[in-house]
Structure 1
């Protein structure tokens, strides 16, 4: 089990280091093959938090982004408290978080493959931000991953590259904090959060990110992204179909 976790976080970190996205999605997708989504989400807490803080504070100007995106951040907090989706600690009712996670991975993969020119949503930012934030927070406590709709929404605001990276880091950081609080307050049975294993997972994640930065300069990022997103579509579709007994 330990070596599987190390391998997963090394791979996930490598992908994040290469294309700047994908650590939680890849880690959650692979870990849920052998452990529950709740357990997988607990392992993500420290690696996600450290890498998100690095992404957030790398360039400065954090307060400026907070002043602009505070409705989005409040929406994330509210969504993580009152989610409209089945959460990671819930089972039954004909719909499990594994299926929702698979759907999220599929949407993420399709988005990455086909999103070329994003619409300009800046004129609608004032009322869209809290709605997108709420859905992002609700899906975070349901799947352990914040991707849809936060990532495409922020990209649709046509931010400068550094602002986009930091804005994603800001949203990811708040989402991870909310997820950590949710997991702590809503355990499954007597299952505690394994902070020791989460801390151990940070080491291969950082190693993978370092490897990913080396890969970035050796292969085409566009080619790597295409392979990555095709893999996510297939893997996410498999999770959904398997959850409902189709395969």
Structure 2
């Protein structure tokens, strides 16, 4: 039964990531947190998320260019993850609430945000601050969504550049999360085995998503994706707020 859940969750998350360049940690953390603690879900997520992010990052080349451009953003992520002002993953209900709120807010943002301002002129000032918030939220919830993704979208990068910039940010945040988990929990061989197993459906789903990208209505798919995030975020948030 658990194998089937893993295949469906990571296959679906990989498919979405292949289609729109993001969604693997968001979808998998959200769904897995329905049946296990965010701490356990994050431990299962590290390896498949890391490998798919590296694939996304390396696919287009020019890594040095993106590192030079976004090095202050990456530094902010590291600092935020190491010296976070937010509760960590180990705080159970608080982490679930934060994760649910992030999913809910990002789903709403994805549906309503249309003409985003161009903040490229302020990039050198905003990147360290945005990176710090992103790193802090990564170790608090296990995913990096807000404010990294909206911020990179306001820089009005080309589609392939945006996907690669997201891959770079996600890779950095995954490394920080892996270090955090190593410092705060004891990994056992079973967790590592399940994490390795999750790579296969994630990679297959991502490959299928990339193949389908040219044949599906991406705009409509994005709408369905964000509506799903709103529903999942609301389901996770409201019980933790006492609305049961």
TM over 0.5, shorter chain: yes
Q: Give secondary structure in 2 for the equivalent of 1:246.
A: coil
Q: Give secondary structure in 2 for the equivalent of 1:132.
A: helix
- Match in the other structure for 1:234: 231
- Match in the other structure for 1:86: 87
Shift of 1:63: 1.1
Q: Give secondary structure in 2 for the equivalent of 1:158.
A: coil
1:246 aligns with 2:230: no
- Residues 138 and 144, structure 2, Cα contact 8 Å, conserved in 1: yes
Shift of 1:12: 0.8
- Match in the other structure for 2:63: 62
Give me the whole-angstrom Cα distance separating, in 1, the residues matched to 2:118 and 2:101.
26
Distance 1:182 1:120, change over 3 A: same
Q: 2:117 aligns with which of 94, 116, 119?
A: 119
Shift of 1:214: 4.1
Q: Give secondary structure in 2 for the equivalent of 1:89.
A: helix
Shift of 1:206: 1.2
May I ask how many residue pairs the two structures share in their alignment?
242
Q: 2:102 aligns with which of 90, 101, 104?
A: 104
Shift of 1:40: 0.3
Q: 1:196 aligns with which of 193, 196, 201?
A: 193
Question: What is the TM-score normalised by the length of structure 2?
Answer: 0.94
Output one character per residue of 1:138-196: Cα deviation in whole Å (capped at 9) or x when no partner.
Answer: 00001111010001111111122222221111101000000000001111xx5647221
Give me the whole-angstrom Cα distance separating, in 2, the residues matched to 1:162 and 1:16.
13
- Residues 21 and 166, structure 2, Cα contact 8 Å, conserved in 1: no
Structure 1: where are the runs of 5+ without partners?
Answer: none
- Match in the other structure for 1:210: 207
Q: Give secondary structure in 2 for the equivalent of 1:167.
A: helix
Structure 2: where are the runs of 5+ without partners?
Answer: none
- Residues 87 and 140, structure 2, Cα contact 8 Å, conserved in 1: yes
Question: Per residue, is there more helix in 1 or in 2?
Answer: 2
Shift of 1:212: 2.2
Shift of 1:217: 3.9
Q: Give secondary structure in 1 for the equivalent of 2:193.
A: helix
Distance 1:60 1:213, change over 3 A: closer
Give me the whole-angstrom Cα distance separating, in 2, the residues matched to 1:72 and 1:217.
31
- Match in the other structure for 2:152: 154
Shift of 1:200: 0.2
Shift of 1:81: 0.6
- Residues 38 and 89, structure 2, Cα contact 8 Å, conserved in 1: yes
- Match in the other structure for 1:17: 18
Output one character per residue of 1:13-38: Cα deviation in whole Å (capped at 9) or x when no partner.
Answer: 11112222211100000000111100
Shift of 1:75: 0.4
Q: Give secondary structure in 1 for the equivalent of 2:91.
A: coil
